[in-house]
């Protein structure tokens, strides 16, 4: 396929009325059509997920306090990397990390619903995190760098400095904006913790394979 994007599931109702488009087409794109599709979120199937603007507030498996609904913890001695989509504890952070190395290679992404926005944001944040980890860092140094990246000031949809405002709706009021910021902070912290485990399996690393994606820019963008 060279001139049009691949067939994809219908967009959820929450997206069908949006006027935020980057191209004059019924669907939303963040880059030009490509020859093959990127991977989309399996959470598009969950039509009852609450949103702020059009950003989904998906459940998380986390110990970090915040507005997210908390999924059950994993059984003892079960690594995050082994969690499959069939597991009741599988969440959007698992998906972001499992799809990162495939999706980061793409320069276009068709948004089929709110859950895809989470995938986009998470993928860009993983790229940001990888840029904080140097090949010479030990596990403790990298952990500190990743947590600092998660906790530092960041823009949310609607902020002037947010790079994806063309496809992300702003919160309707200040209270929603604060809730969205708190939720995204939870997501960022979970990504930092679980990415660290992948970069330093068994405490050894960092993984050269993961760091090989440091210079890749999903859709040519960054947070």
Report domain extents, the chain: 27-220
pLDDT the model gives residue 36: 58
CA atoms within 13 A on the CB side of 138: 1
Rg (CA), the chain: 17
Q: Per-residue confidence at 14, pLDDT binned at 50, 70, 90?
A: very low
- The DSSP-derived string for 123-146 is HHHHHHHHHH--TT--HHHHHHHH
| 29: Cβ contacts below 8 Å, ≥ 6 apart | 5, 21, 22, 23, 108, 109, 110, 111
Report the distance separating Cα 26 and Cα 49, nearest Å.
Answer: 22
**Which CATH number applies to 27-220: 2.170.190.11, 3.40.50.720, 1.10.1760.10, 3.40.470.10?**
1.10.1760.10
> Bridge-partner residues for 28, per DSSP?
111
pLDDT in tens, 146-159: 999 999 999 999 99
Q: Per-residue confidence at 67, pLDDT binned at 50, 70, 90?
A: very high
**Mean pLDDT along residues 106-135:** 95
Helix pair 139-151, 174-199: axis angle to 10 deg = 170
pLDDT in tens, 188-209: 999 999 999 999 998 898 999 9
pTM: 0.83
pLDDT the model gives residue 202: 87
What percent of the chain lies above the pLDDT cut of 70? 83
pLDDT the model gives residue 30: 53
């Amino acid at each position: 396929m060279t001139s049009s994007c691949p067939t994809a599931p219908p967009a959820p109702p929450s997206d069908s009325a949006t006027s935020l488009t980057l191209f004059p087409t019924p669907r939303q794109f963040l880059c030009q059509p490509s020859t093959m599709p990127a991977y989309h979120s399996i959470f598009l199937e969950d039509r009852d997920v609450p949103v702020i603007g059009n950003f989904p507030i998906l459940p998380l498996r986390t110990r970090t306090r915040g507005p997210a609904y908390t999924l059950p913890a994993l059984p003892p001695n079960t690594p995050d990397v082994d969690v499959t989509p069939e597991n009741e504890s599988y969440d959007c952070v698992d998906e972001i990390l499992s799809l990162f190395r495939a999706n980061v290679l793409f320069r276009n992404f068709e948004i089929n619903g709110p859950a895809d926005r989470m995938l986009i944001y998470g993928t860009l944040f993983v790229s940001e995190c990888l840029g904080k980890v140097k090949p010479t860092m030990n596990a403790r140094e990298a952990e500190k760098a990743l947590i600092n990246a998660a906790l530092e000031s960041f823009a949310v949809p609607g902020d002037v400095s947010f790079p994806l405002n063309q496809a992300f709706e702003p919160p309707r009021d200040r209270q929603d904006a604060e809730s969205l910021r708190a939720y995204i902070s939870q997501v960022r912290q979970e990504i930092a913790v679980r990415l660290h485990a992948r970069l330093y399996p068994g405490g050894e690393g960092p993984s050269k394979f993961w760091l090989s994606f440091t210079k890749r820019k999903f859709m040519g963008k960054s947070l």
